[in-house]
Amino acid sequence: NDANVAALGEQWVGAGNNNPNVVFMTLGTGVGGGVIAAGNLIRGVKGAGGELGHITVDFDEPFACTCGKKGCLETVASATGIVNLSRRYADQYAGDAKLKQMIDNGQ
């Protein structure tokens, strides 16, 4: 995936500085990553070795993830996850807050 290629690029010519061990994390609409250990890209089972966004981190009030699990890092740390949390807390702490008004108006 793109995060694996980005990890290889960082290891080769970027901040990894040709280090044989690099962990690269991407944050956007999702959370991804690439892991290089002893100079080798860690692919893992079904290519999921660097899929850091699917580590379970929320056990109390988990959001459903696109992968089918609940409570993945991606559901709270990605841009989409931050919107989910904003909606949850805006509803939980309802009132005349400007943030709640913006969310209700789709902004």
Tell me the per-residue pLDDT of 57-94, one tens digit each, with 9 for 90 and over: 988 989 999 999 999 999 999 999 999 898 888 777 76
Q: What is the pTM of this model?
A: 0.76
Calculated CA dihedral for residues 84, 90, 92, 97, nearest 10 degrees: 170
If pLDDT is split at 50, 70 and 90, which confidence band does 5 have?
A: very high
pLDDT of residue 102: 80
Structural tokens at position 23: 């962990």
Q: Which helix (H) or strand (E) holds 79?
A: helix 79-92
Ramachandran angles phi, psi of 89, nearest 5° = -75, -30
- Domain coordinates in residue numbering, the chain: 1-53, 55-106
